[in-house]
């Protein structure tokens, strides 16, 4: 009887320890979950606060580079996009694993391409993209090679369409799947480095009929790759012209 009692006590002790271990595991799991929720909540509060300040002080930010630089610094530390006045809540694919800097770089490039450059068709030369990045994101300490690496990976993973060679060692980056015909590419090559083009100049330089030049520019204008000045008849190419 005594032996049976000892075994029973031993079993109860083991059951208690097992139950206690399970309780600890459950507690740790809930604690981690709570911490993660708190972290997300804090991030939301920070982002909402920054966006509220920017909206309230838009005039001051627009006229003061010091204030703008301060806000950009806060945005960067908060893990937000480096565009004042935008939430930048776009879906960013995981391309660089745990490399937080490169992941944030991918997000910035997508914000630039899909939101900030939407009015020029989300098409821009690599040289202009690098210049634009540095001008609009002065707090980023970044090398040209880092931007080029991120773009190559984005292309390889089909996050953005393949780049287009437009001649003279100039490359066009597209953030949206726009199909560029041979005629469009020839006009882009011709426009590189020029302030503007006209239908007549395109027809003359490329040996095209006026109708072909007109049709090509009409398509480019609809795609927002070319911008028409209605008064002068000049066509501008923001993504290709020097910034």
pLDDT digits (tens, 9 = 90+) for 173-202: 888 877 778 889 899 989 887 889 999 999
DSSP label at residue 112:
I
Q: What is the pLDDT of residues 45-98, one digit of tens each?
A: 666 776 776 666 666 655 566 666 666 677 776 666 656 555 555 566 677 777
Q: Does residue 146 surpass a pLDDT of 80?
A: yes
Residue 20 has pLDDT above 80, yes or no: no
Closest CA to 176 of 186, 162, 187: 162
Cα 39 from Cα 36, distance rounded (Å)? 5
Q: What is the pTM of this model?
A: 0.58
If we measure between CA atoms, which residue out of 19, 208, 238, 215 comes closest to residue 128? 238
The HSE-up count of residue 148 (CA atoms within 13 Å, CB side) is 6
**3 state SS for 119-176:** HHCCEEEHHHHHHHHHHHCCCCCCCHHHHHHHHHHHHHCCCCCCCEECCCCCEEEECC
Indicate if the pLDDT at residue 210 is higher than 70. Answer: yes
H helix intervals, the chain: 2-56, 58-63, 65-77, 100-111, 126-136, 144-156, 182-191, 199-206, 210-222
Q: Where is mean pLDDT largest: 41-50, 102-111, 115-124, 196-205?
A: 196-205
Query: Which of 37-41, 101-105, 145-149 is most confident?
Result: 145-149
Give 213's pLDDT tier (boundaries 50, 70, 90).
very high
- What is the average pLDDT across 212-217? 91
Residue 207 near residue 217, CB atoms below 8 Å: no
DSSP code of residue 225: S
How long a stretch of residues is the chain? 243
42 within 8 A of 68, measured Cβ to Cβ = no
CA 117 to chain centre: 11
Determine the pLDDT at residue 66: 64
Q: Band of the pLDDT at 235, cuts 50, 70, 90?
A: very high
């Amino acid at each position: 009887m005594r032996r049976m009692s000892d075994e029973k006590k031993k079993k109860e002790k083991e059951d208690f320890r097992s139950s206690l271990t399970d309780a600890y595991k459950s507690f740790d799991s809930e604690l981690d979950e709570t911490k993660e929720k708190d972290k997300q909540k804090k991030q939301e509060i920070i982002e909402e606060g920054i966006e509220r300040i920017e909206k309230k002080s838009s005039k001051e930010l627009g006229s003061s580079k010091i204030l703008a630089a301060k806000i950009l610094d806060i945005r960067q530390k908060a893990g937000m996009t480096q565009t004042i006045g935008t939430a930048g809540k776009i879906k960013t694919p995981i391309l660089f694993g745990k490399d937080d800097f490169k992941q944030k770089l991918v997000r910035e490039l997508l914000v630039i391409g899909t939101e900030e450059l939407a009015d020029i068709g989300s098409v821009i030369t690599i040289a202009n993209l690098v210049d634009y990045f540095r001008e609009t994101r002065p707090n980023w300490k970044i090398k040209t090679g880092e931007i080029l690496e991120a773009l190559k990976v984005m292309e390889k993973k089909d996050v953005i369409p393949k780049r287009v060679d437009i001649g003279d060692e100039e490359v066009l980056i597209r953030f949206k799947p726009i199909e560029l015909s041979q005629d469009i590419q020839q006009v882009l090559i011709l426009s590189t480095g020029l302030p503007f083009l006209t239908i007549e100049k395109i027809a003359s330089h490329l040996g095209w009929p006026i109708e072909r030049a007109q049709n090509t520019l009409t398509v480019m204008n609809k795609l927002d790759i070319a911008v028409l000045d209605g008064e002068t008849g000049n066509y501008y190419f923001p993504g290709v012209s020097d910034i």
